[in-house]
Amino acid sequence: MARTQGGERVSLFKLWTFHGGLQLEGHKRESSSAPLVAPIPKRLVFPLQQRSGEDSKPVVAPGDRVLKGQVIARDDHPFNPPIHASSSGIVQAIEDLPLPHPSGLSGSCIVIETDGEDAAVGFTGIADYKRCSPEELRRRIHEAGIVGLGGAAFPTSVKVSPGEDRKVDTLILNGAECEPYITCDDSLLRQYPEDVLEGAKILLHILGAEHCLLAVESDMPEAFHALETAKQQGRFNAIRLVRVPAIYPIGGEKQLISVLTDREVPTRGLPADIGIVCQNVGTAAAVYNAVVRGIPLISRIVTVTGRGVRRPQNVLARIGTPLADLIRQCGGYTDEAERLVLGGPLMGFAVPTDQLPLTKSVNCLLVAGRNELIGEKRSLPCIRCGTCADVCPVSLLPQQLYWYSRSNQTERALDYNLFDCIECGCCDVVCPSHIPLVQYFRAAKSKAIAKRREREKAEHARRRYESRQARKELEKREWAESIKRKKESLETGKAPEILEAIERAKRRRAEKTAPPRENATSIAHDQRETIIAADRVASINDGHDETRSSNANAD
């Protein structure tokens, strides 16, 4: 339902609110133009480590020629979808290189030297996807390497598998690009609205959901108009466009669900627990390309912005492109360039070099100038003002979490729902003491995860030991019962052949150990026969000897 105000259609969809949040300066006009198509880089780098923390296994070797869209690494883990080459070329090496990660550590990477031909494998899509089962479409999404393009990079095939015990009634497409500087989703919605809407229909078919809510921020009027135009031209009756206020962090999954449906995702729960699945608009477009066009996830729109770059711009770039190439595409660095951040100014993280590759999870490359970022001032002691609690969108007590995180009281921090923190950075923005609260919370989470893994290892070792002891005890009891059954069978005469064998053995042992007797009557019958036969032979021999003697005397 909609009404007209000043010649513009205004949605009457009822919206709710969430606790906290901030009105921030957007800095979005600088990069909100149509995306440039980046040229093919000379070198592509593909880290093998993905979200699960485990490396995918290469299926190519140095010297192999690969094509665009060809699988170059895969794994059996459902959280590790396949990795595809984003252009054709020769595999130059598989070696350790720096990873685009806050740790700054290195990891195994596949390096491809492109040939400029951009030769591709044969892409085969499914025009009538409704004939396919949801499970078949999930497999296709997994094989296309699709992950969430909002920044978390959660495997899409897993997210659209809520389980048989969960009934999903609503799909939410997140186009609320609330963090400052980032405009890649805005650019996508203006340039490819049909792809997003078609992807939404595919996701509805997979989930068996009835409704789709596509949220667009109120400061993205061109994107909303493009979606409305595409919706009127196609059959998208199950999809509803909704404008949401530009309040940070309304683009957070739980916050957007609360605003659109007034439902609350339970602590440590999932949106599917309350009948909702939330996907990024870029992910929906990638699903459409994979299912209908057969194209895997080999490129994405990324925002290159900040005072440190000459021409802030959205760029349609190949996955694996070195960040230096993207900055060069946007005119190179300015004299103000000071820091390189992957992501936005609040939830992103600084990296030491521009030789890192573009990955599926990178939606923004922020080249910050001097004093452009929040949190660059010297921190002071906490004054317990409580402002951080006022703006926390998940109603936590950041000051308490800070004290427990700082003093390594991880268990106490967990009591205050540490893992409910979405690391949005609102508390960092308003803290008058300029304390980097989110950094403390991330460190505390890492410690809690490490402790949990240690406990799991200890528990696993304990269960193995107890299982081994129980198995040995069972074997001991079974052996004792077997001996007992054999004795009982001997006593009850259930095994006469065993008794006879024992008696025969006793007789043979007695015969061998009995002393010899001179009395002929005590000699066994067979021995007597032997002696008699020997006597006969001796008598015959004696007769022969006597005959030979008499003949000798006669001569």
Assess whether pLDDT exceeds 70 at residue 293: yes
Assess whether pLDDT exceeds 50 at residue 546: no
- The four Cα atoms 263, 264, 268, 271 give a dihedral, to 10 degrees, of 20
- What value does the mean pLDDT of the chain take? 88
Q: Are 202 and 136 in contact (CB under 8 A)?
A: no
Residues in the chain: 555
Considering only 6-20, 207-221, 340-354, 541-555, which range has the smallest mean pLDDT? 541-555
pTM: 0.80
- Which pLDDT belongs to residue 8? 40
- Which pLDDT belongs to residue 520? 46
Q: What mean pLDDT do residues 234-258 have?
A: 93
Considering only 32-36, 368-372, 404-408, 424-428, which range has the smallest mean pLDDT? 32-36
Residue in this structure with the two tokens 């699988």, named with its chain if needed: 71
Q: Tell me the three state secondary structure of residue 345.
A: coil
Q: For the packed helices 398-406 and 437-491, what is the interaxial angle rounded to 10 degrees?
A: 70
What tens digit of pLDDT does each residue of 91-111 get? Answer: 999 999 999 987 778 999 999
Assess whether pLDDT exceeds 60 at residue 543: no
- Which pLDDT belongs to residue 362? 95
Both ends of the chain: CA-CA distance in Å? Answer: 155
- Which pLDDT belongs to residue 7? 39
- Which pLDDT belongs to residue 379? 87
Q: Tell me the three state secondary structure of residue 368.
A: strand
Compute how many other C-beta atoms are within 10 angstroms of the C-beta atom of residue 351.
20
Strands of 282-382, DSSP E: 299-305, 313-318, 339-342, 349-351, 364-368
Residue in this structure with the two tokens 């690391």, named with its chain if needed: 423
Q: What mean pLDDT do residues 168-184 have?
A: 95
Radius of gyration, alpha carbons of the chain: 40
Alpha carbon of residue 339 to chain centroid: 30
In this prediction, residue 371 has a pLDDT band, given cuts at 50, 70 and 90, of confident
Strand partners, 94: 110
Measured distance CA(468)–CA(480) in Å, rounded: 18
Measured distance CA(282)–CA(285) in Å, rounded: 5
Q: What mean pLDDT do residues 506-530 have?
A: 63
Considering only 128-142, 346-360, 372-386, which range has the smallest mean pLDDT? 372-386
Structure tokens at 361: 């999870």
Q: What mean pLDDT do residues 461-473 have?
A: 94
Annotate 143-155 with DSSP letters as a single string. Answer: HTT-B-TTTT--B
**Burial of residue 211 (number of CB atoms within 10 Å: 0-12, 13-18, 19+):** middle
